[in-house]
């Protein structure tokens, strides 16, 4: 065991202060240890059993000596580091590392967890953060000495996904593992994240008892309506009414405070005016309530004061390990017969079904519930998240991921707190259950002043599209579309392909459907002769049988049944659309019945949708689980979305590629040095530095150097095998060639001297020149990074050169890119076809280009300070010749808590821990 001497305390890394979830779903605080923790640490050790102490210290001891306490709590936060997890005002556990020798890249780790917190993932959570911290501080390997019978600790290391080597030595294992992230450690931490988040939702969605705080006697008030809904819904556990001004509410005894309730309360719904909410929640904490739903408004939605109140509320909830929905929400619904929880104040009773839904807007939530119910869309659960102070869309996604009652997830979003985390989670879940979202703000795109080509190309909506697309989220433009698409996804199998059959009793609506389908590249295929013959044998001679099948107005229930049977059984199509326009009042119900019954009989074989063009709407009880639309375009659009989603599901996700030759540490040091020179101000890096950083990631640049005189320019160019390029350096010239500041293909000393003088004369403030090797030929493309205020950094690719803003043929992606993302980016840019050697043009080294995109993504991952970059142009040379970045600009900005694992919970702790709230 390394037992080092006390260190001078380092600067406390206060930005590494997070709220985390333990395995059982309780929230706790994870933060670096500090000297004042000495009494807490002593208390922690006093709560450890003899065996736990022996496992940790390899000897029996009762308590820590003052010197030990000091050594464990006074750290330099570099060579010696420790995190604690604190809950209910006490330390639950501590994990530390000590570097083997100064400047070395290995460290020893050890954990102490209070006995009552063992098995709750305390060590696992600390290990996750400790590893990230160590990695950022140049430690590449951890080692731990573990007694052979310390199974719990061995499980922690193994569960964290670390590949380890062990050596048995006197009953002691030496466990060694790299601090580098791997697919295994990532998968392990995602699994922990999912389990903990799902567990923390249990008291909110499966409470065994509910208290309504603010249960009003006024049946028309929000509290009164909510209580009435709970009772009407027949909640399976006891409901307690809390109302200090009444002894009876709706024939139930009312309690003055939740503390007076004689039994245990799992969930409290809070419907009191904002100024009483803190007290109500405090009492819930005291009562041991696990979850609260705060319906009350008057928080962050009202302005800075409200924001402060909400923050206080969140801290209170966190301090007691509770979870909170809201504030400013309309409540929760869980239709599972095991609970029948209808804790919302709207008038609608949700139908039981397989769609889970979360809404950010409260009022809209009521409308959504209503509409879903009218569309025959049944719900598994519904959560109105309101201000999302604590429980976020991401928490719910993690819960619904493994919820057996949920097949489709609907989201109404107004904002994203942590888009990257959303993308990561959604991408995984979307492969199993479709996520359909309507995100308001399509038109919010605004031109922003930017210092790069890349920046001026981006807009908010581009980012949302990129995010949804990468994550496989089905994005709809309108709420109406949200339900149209959901009706198919919830009730029908995903289409196996793009081929569609249409069976109609009128030509017009069929043609409208065809137009919309084809606009989305679906195929209304012409049927084979055999299939046409078969259809014709059952229809009148006026009918058309090629597809669309127009059975003409006289078609009756039998015609529908027969024709639909034929196309549903045929292997020439993947989806079938039945269209019916009532042409007379007679036989309508029979036809509707025939269509629905046929669809039901073939359920699962093909995607089946219907259009019922009657302004009175389709008879809901007839269609039930068969998607039915008023207009053909609606059905066609819904089907198109389903097809696109099916294709996304079938597509492999790809891999994040690691580059062994990259040197992110050196790049990080270069950036840190530049920021130190700029005194923490955002700064564009010098060309030499830019090239060096690109070099750290194996991105090719031409030979080049910065010169201050003509003679130096000549001397440098003389070392190149071929012609040179001379570019002016100036703090003001953004686009050098625009002002005549670039001289290309310069050969010979005289020409070089002339070029040097010319480019310097082109600007008022030259600071020197960049002399580069001239790279002839090749296609010019742009690769960039831009910072979106809501989404963080995006990677951009487009055909480059000086026309990029004009042509705007570009693709955006959220990092990190997988190999397939990179390939797709090329596919999305229409002019990238030129790289294939279009019409006799030279082809380009596409393989090297894709690799460069991935190297840029690795650079983005490694350098959180890199907020803006323009590689324009990158020259894509002939296949096999690679690519070369001939012009590059980078802007860096200080950030904190960089490289920390993404916090599971939205947190306002620390100085600038990333806000997380989606
Ligand atoms: P700016 O973008 O500031 O105008 P660049 O350095 O991109 O300046 O140069 C302008 C154009 O000159 C590039 O788009 C490219 O076509 C060409 N160019 C620049 N550097 C080289 C080089 N080293 N080899 C070949 N062509 C180059
Ligand atoms: Mg350029």
Question: For 353-367, how does the pLDDT look when each residue is reduced to its tens digit (9 = 90+)?
Answer: 999 999 887 777 788
Mean pLDDT for 245-257 is 94
Is residue 801 in contact with ligand 1, taking CB distance under 6 Å? Answer: yes
Is residue 740 in contact with ligand 1, taking CB distance under 6 Å? Answer: no
pLDDT at 901 over 80: no
Position 94 scores a pLDDT of 96
- Take residue 617 and report the two structure tokens written for it: 């709407």
Mean pLDDT for 551-556 is 90
Pocket test for ligand 1, best of 725, 742, 884 (most atoms within 8 A of CB): 742
Position 904 scores a pLDDT of 56
- The beta-strand segments (E) located in 219-336 are 239-242, 248-249, 252-255, 267-270, 291-294, 323-325, 331-334
318-356 pLDDT, tens digit per residue, is: 888 899 999 999 999 999 999 999 999 999 898 899 999
Mean pLDDT for 215-221 is 92
SS (H, E, C) 6-68: CCCCCCCCCCCCEEEECCCCCEEEEEECCHHHHHHHHHHHHCCCHHHHHHHHCCCCCCCCHHH
Q: Closest ligand 1 atom to the C-alpha of 800?
A: 14
- In the structure, what pLDDT confidence band is assigned to residue 164 with cuts at 50, 70 and 90? low
Distance 736 CA to ligand 2 centre (A): 7
Pocket test for ligand 1, best of 737, 759, 774, 877 (most atoms within 8 A of CB): 737
Residue 554's closest CA among 595, 582, 576, 579?
Answer: 582
- In the structure, what pLDDT confidence band is assigned to residue 809 with cuts at 50, 70 and 90? confident
Burial class (CB in 10 A: 0-12, 13-18, 19+), 21: buried
Residue 461's closest CA among 429, 431, 416?
Answer: 416
| CA-based end-to-end distance of the chain | 43
Ligand 1 atom 19 nearest Cα: 886
pLDDT at 707 over 70: yes
How many whole angstroms separate alpha carbon 370 and alpha carbon 349?
8
Mean pLDDT for 521-548 is 95
Position 442 scores a pLDDT of 45
| φ/ψ bin of 67: left (φ > 0), alpha (ψ from -120 to 50), beta (otherwise) | alpha
Mean pLDDT for 66-77 is 92
CB burial string 32-56: b at 16+ within 10 A, e below: bbbeebbebbbebbebbeeebbbbb
Is residue 575 in contact with ligand 1, taking CB distance under 6 Å? Answer: no
pLDDT at 440 over 50: yes
DSSP H helices, 341-408, are: 362-374, 393-401
Distance 723 CA to ligand 2 centre (A): 19
The percent of the chain in helix, strand and coil, each rounded to the nearest 5, is 40, 20, 40
- In the structure, what pLDDT confidence band is assigned to residue 460 with cuts at 50, 70 and 90? low
Ligand 1 atom 14 nearest Cα: 801
Is residue 780 in contact with ligand 1, taking CB distance under 6 Å? Answer: yes
Residue 300 is classified by DSSP as G
pLDDT at 866 over 70: yes
Distance 872 CA to ligand 2 centre (A): 4
Ligand 1 atom 9 nearest Cα: 737
Residue 722 near residue 773 (C-beta atoms within 8 A): yes
Sequence-ordered list of residues with C-beta below 8 angstroms from that of 32, at least 6 positions apart, any chain: 12, 13, 14, 16, 17, 75, 77, 81, 82, 83, 84
Distance 886 CA to ligand 2 centre (A): 8
Residue whose entry in the numeric block shows the structure tokens 């581009």: 462
588: helix, strand or coil: helix
Distance 895 CA to ligand 2 centre (A): 27
731-777 pLDDT, tens digit per residue, is: 887 788 889 999 999 999 999 999 999 999 999 999 999 999 999 99
142-160 pLDDT, tens digit per residue, is: 999 888 888 888 888 888 8
pLDDT at 443 over 50: no
Is residue 772 in contact with ligand 1, taking CB distance under 6 Å? Answer: yes
Is residue 725 in contact with ligand 1, taking CB distance under 6 Å? Answer: yes
Distance 873 CA to ligand 1 centre (A): 7
pLDDT at 451 over 50: no
Is residue 887 in contact with ligand 1, taking CB distance under 6 Å? Answer: yes
Is residue 323 in contact with ligand 1, taking CB distance under 6 Å? Answer: no
Ligand 1 atom 6 nearest Cα: 887
512: helix, strand or coil: helix
Is residue 888 in contact with ligand 1, taking CB distance under 6 Å? Answer: no
pLDDT at 623 over 70: yes
Residue 314 near residue 387 (C-beta atoms within 8 A): no
Ligand 1 atom 20 nearest Cα: 886
Q: Closest ligand 1 atom to the C-alpha of 873?
A: 14
Percent of residues, the chain, with pLDDT higher than 70: 92
669-701 pLDDT, tens digit per residue, is: 999 899 999 998 899 999 999 999 999 999 999
Is residue 691 in contact with ligand 1, taking CB distance under 6 Å? Answer: no
Name which residue leads in pLDDT, 188 or 575: 575
76-123 pLDDT, tens digit per residue, is: 999 999 999 998 889 999 999 999 988 788 999 999 999 999 989 999
Q: What average pLDDT is seen over the chain?
A: 88
Q: Which of 496-505, 710-719, 799-808 is predicted with the least confidence, judged by mean pLDDT?
A: 799-808
Ligand 1 atom 7 nearest Cα: 887
Taking the CA of 742 as reference, the closest ligand is 1
Position 915 scores a pLDDT of 30
Q: Closest ligand 1 atom to the C-alpha of 773?
A: 23
Burial class (CB in 10 A: 0-12, 13-18, 19+), 586: exposed
Q: Closest ligand 1 atom to the C-alpha of 887?
A: 6
Mean pLDDT for 498-523 is 96
What is the CB neighbour count within 10 angstroms for residue 418? 22
Is residue 770 in contact with ligand 1, taking CB distance under 6 Å? Answer: no
Distance 853 CA to ligand 1 centre (A): 20
Is residue 886 in contact with ligand 1, taking CB distance under 6 Å? Answer: yes
Distance 480 CA to ligand 2 centre (A): 45
CB burial string 72-103: b at 16+ within 10 A, e below: bbbbebbbbbbbbbbbeeebbbbbbbbbbeee
pTM assigned to the model = 0.81
Is residue 873 in contact with ligand 1, taking CB distance under 6 Å? Answer: yes
Helix (H) or strand (E) holding 612: strand 607-612
Is residue 782 in contact with ligand 1, taking CB distance under 6 Å? Answer: no
Name which residue leads in pLDDT, 726 or 460: 726
| φ/ψ bin of 88: left (φ > 0), alpha (ψ from -120 to 50), beta (otherwise) | left
How many whole angstroms separate alpha carbon 838 and alpha carbon 832?
10
Residue 120 near residue 54 (C-beta atoms within 8 A): no
Pocket test for ligand 1, best of 740, 770, 886, 889 (most atoms within 8 A of CB): 886
Taking the CA of 730 as reference, the closest ligand is 1
Ligand 1 atom 25 nearest Cα: 775
Sequence-ordered list of residues with C-beta below 8 angstroms from that of 645, at least 6 positions apart, any chain: 430, 434, 472, 474, 489, 494
86: helix, strand or coil: strand
Residue 704 near residue 772 (C-beta atoms within 8 A): yes
636-653 pLDDT, tens digit per residue, is: 999 999 999 999 999 888
Is residue 769 in contact with ligand 1, taking CB distance under 6 Å? Answer: no
Ligand 1 atom 17 nearest Cα: 744
Position 240 scores a pLDDT of 98
User: CB pairs under 8 A, 24+ apart, for 828-835?
Assistant: 829/797, 829/798, 829/799, 831/799, 831/807, 832/781, 832/797, 832/799, 834/779, 834/799, 835/779, 835/781, 835/876
Position 102 scores a pLDDT of 81
Taking the CA of 886 as reference, the closest ligand is 1
Distance 873 CA to ligand 2 centre (A): 5
Residue 855 near residue 847 (C-beta atoms within 8 A): no
Residue 870 near residue 452 (C-beta atoms within 8 A): yes
Pocket test for ligand 1, best of 887, 888, 889, 890 (most atoms within 8 A of CB): 887
Q: Which of 139-148, 405-414, 503-512, 904-913 is predicted with the least confidence, judged by mean pLDDT?
A: 904-913
Is residue 736 in contact with ligand 1, taking CB distance under 6 Å? Answer: yes
Is residue 637 in contact with ligand 1, taking CB distance under 6 Å? Answer: no
User: Residues with beta carbon < 5 A to ion ligand 2?
Assistant: 872, 887
- Take residue 777 and report the two structure tokens written for it: 């030929």
Half-sphere exposure of 763 (CA within 13 A, CB side): 24
User: What are residue 60's phi and psi, to 5 degrees?
Assistant: -90, 130
489-505 pLDDT, tens digit per residue, is: 999 999 999 999 999 99
- In the structure, what pLDDT confidence band is assigned to residue 461 with cuts at 50, 70 and 90? low
């Amino acid at each position: 065991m390394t037992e080092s001497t006390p260190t001078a305390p380092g600067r406390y890394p206060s930005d590494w202060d997070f709220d985390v979830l333990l395995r059982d779903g309780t929230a706790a605080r994870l933060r670096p240890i500090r000297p004042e923790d000495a009494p807490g640490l002593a208390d922690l050790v006093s709560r450890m059993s003899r065996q736990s102490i022996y496992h940790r210290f390899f000897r029996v001891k009762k308590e820590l000596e003052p010197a030990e306490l000091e050594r464990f709590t006074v750290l330099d936060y570099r060579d010696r580091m420790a995190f604690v997890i604190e809950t209910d005002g006490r330390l639950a556990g501590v994990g530390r590392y000590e570097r083997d020798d100064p400047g070395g890249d290995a460290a020893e780790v050890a954990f102490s967890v209070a006995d009552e917190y063992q098995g709750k993932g305390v060590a696992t959570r600390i290990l996750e953060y400790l590893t990230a911290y160590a990695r950022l501080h140049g430690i590449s390997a951890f080692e731990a000495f573990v007694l052979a019978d310390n199974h719990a600790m061995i499980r922690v290391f193994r569960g964290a996904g670390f590949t380890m080597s062990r050596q048995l030595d006197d009953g002691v294992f030496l466990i060694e593992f790299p601090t580098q992230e791997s697919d295994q450690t990532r998968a392990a931490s995602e699994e922990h994240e999912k389990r903990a988040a799902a567990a923390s939702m249990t008291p909110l969605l499966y409470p065994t008892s509910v208290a309504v705080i603010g249960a009003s006697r006024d049946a028309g008030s929000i509290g009164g309506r909510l209580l009435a809904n709970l009772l009407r819904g027949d909640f399976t556990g006891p409901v307690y009414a809390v109302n200090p001004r009444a002894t009876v509410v709706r024939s139930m005894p009312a309690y003055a405070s939740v503390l007076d309730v004689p039994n245990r309360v799992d969930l409290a719904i809070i419907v009191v005016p904002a100024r009483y909410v803190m007290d109500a929640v405090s009492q819930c904490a005291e009562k041991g309530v696990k979850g609260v739903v705060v319906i009350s408004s008057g928080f962050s939605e009202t302005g800075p004061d409200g924001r402060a109140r909400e923050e206080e509320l969140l801290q209170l909830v966190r301090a007691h390990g509770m979870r909170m929905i809201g504030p400013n929400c309309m409540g929760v619904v869980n239709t599972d017969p095991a609970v029948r929880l209808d804790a919302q104040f709207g008038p609608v009773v949700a139908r039981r079904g397989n769609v889970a839904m979360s809404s950010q807007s409260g009022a809209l939530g009521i409308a959504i519930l209503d509409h879903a119910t009218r569309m025959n869309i049944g719900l598994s659960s519904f959560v109105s998240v309101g201000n999302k102070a604590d429980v976020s869309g991401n928490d719910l996604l993690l819960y619904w991921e493994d919820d057996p009652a949920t097949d489709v997830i609907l989201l109404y979003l107004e904002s994203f707190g942590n888009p990257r985390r959303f993308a990561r989670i959604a991408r995984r879940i979307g492969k199993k259950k479709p996520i359909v979202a309507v995100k308001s703000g399509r038109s919010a795109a605004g031109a922003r002043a930017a210092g790069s080509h890349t920046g001026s190309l981006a807009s908010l909506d581009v980012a949302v599209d990129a995010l949804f697309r990468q994550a496989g989220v089905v994005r709809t433009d309108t709420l109406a579309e949200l339900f149209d698409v959901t009706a198919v996804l919830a009730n029908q199998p995903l289409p196996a392909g793009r081929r569609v059959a249409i069976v109609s009793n009128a030509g017009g609506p069929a043609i409208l459907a065809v137009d919309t389908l084809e606009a989305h590249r679906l195929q209304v295929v012409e049927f084979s002769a055999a299939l046409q013959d078969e259809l014709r044998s059952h229809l009148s001679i006026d009918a058309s049988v090629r597809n669309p099948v127009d059975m003409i107005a006289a078609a009756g229930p039998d015609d529908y049944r027969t024709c639909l049977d034929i196309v549903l059984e045929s292997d020439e199509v993947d989806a079938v659309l039945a269209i019916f326009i009532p042409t007379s009042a007679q036989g309508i119900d029979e036809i509707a019945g025939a269509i629905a019954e046929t669809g039901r009989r073939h359920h699962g074989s093909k995607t089946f949708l219907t259009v019922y063009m009657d302004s009175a709407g389709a008879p809901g009880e007839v269609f039930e689980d068969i998607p039915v639309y008023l207009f053909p375009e609606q059905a066609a659009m819904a089907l198109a979305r389903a097809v696109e989603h099916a294709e996304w599901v079938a597509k492999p996700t790809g891999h994040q590629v690691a580059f062994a030759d990259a040197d992110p540490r050196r790049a990080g040091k270069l950036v840190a040095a530049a920021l130190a020179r700029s005194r923490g101000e955002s700064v564009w890096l010098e060309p030499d530095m830019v090239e060096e950083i690109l070099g750290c990631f194996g991105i090719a640049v031409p030979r080049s150097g910065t010169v201050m005189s003509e003679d130096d320019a000549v001397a440098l160019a003389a070392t190149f095998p071929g012609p040179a390029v001379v570019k002016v350096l100036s703090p003001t010239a953004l686009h050098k060639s625009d002002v005549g500041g670039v001289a290309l293909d310069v050969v010979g000393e005289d020409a070089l001297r002339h070029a040097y003088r010319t480019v310097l004369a082109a600007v008022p403030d030259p600071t020197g020149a960049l002399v580069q090797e001239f790279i002839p030929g090749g296609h010019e493309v742009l690769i960039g990074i831009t910072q979106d205020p809501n989404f963080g950094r995006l990677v951009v690719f487009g055909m480059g050169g000086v026309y990029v803003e004009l042509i705007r043929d570009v693709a955006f992606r959220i990092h990190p890119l997988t190999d397939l993302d990179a390939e797709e980016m090329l596919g999305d840019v229409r002019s990238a076809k030129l790289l294939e050697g279009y019409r006799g043009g030279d082809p380009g080294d596409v393989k090297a280009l894709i690799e460069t995109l991935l190297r840029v993504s690795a650079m983005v991952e490694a350098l959180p300070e890199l907020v803006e970059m323009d590689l324009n142009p990158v020259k894509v040379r002939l296949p096999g010749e690679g690519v070369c970045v001939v012009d590059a600009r980078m802007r860096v900005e200080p950030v904190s808590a960089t490289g920390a694992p993404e916090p599971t919970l939205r947190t306002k702790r620390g100085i600038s821990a990333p806000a997380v709230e989606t």
